[in-house]
Amino acid sequence: MRRHLAPALTAAAMAGVLALATPASAVPADKPTVLSSWTQTSSASFNAWAAARGNQARWAAYHFNWSTDYCSSSPDNPFGFPFQTSCARHDFGYRNYKAAGTFSAHKNRLDDAFYADLKRICAQYSGAKKSSCDATAWTYYQAVRVLGVSPENAPAG
């Protein structure tokens, strides 16, 4: 009986060694799928990204870039409208798709997701305040559409 267990134990031990031999820096194969799921125009996509942002340690193996400068040189909360988190998600998409080398293929969707996020914020208001928010959201959207820098147009540095 001992002989029959030895090959099974050896195989199990080898599997354990191979599992431990995986480099700590290995990125899960589904990273592009996760990144895509967090950068869509839907509120579900925004909510999933926000939940992940709140628990970044859970996603550490993916090596996402969570850094942000929020709304860059524009106000993060213009006229009191809370755009800061939407700007952070937009930065997340830009930084991670640039790192993946696929930014150009995703830029328009990232900008559209940003605008969808801003419009959801504005939907909370009514009357003149909603009109003001919508106009501000449109301005921010147009700014990223025109000024959002693709890697091939980025200044050297």
Torsions phi, psi of 68, nearest 5?
A: -155, 150
Give SS3 for 150: coil
- DSSP 8-state assignment for residue 156: P
User: Structure tokens of 134?
Assistant: 């919508």
CA 40, 92, 102: angle at the middle one, nearest 5?
75
Contact between 87 and 71 under an 8 Å Cβ cutoff? The reply is yes
The catalytic residues are 90
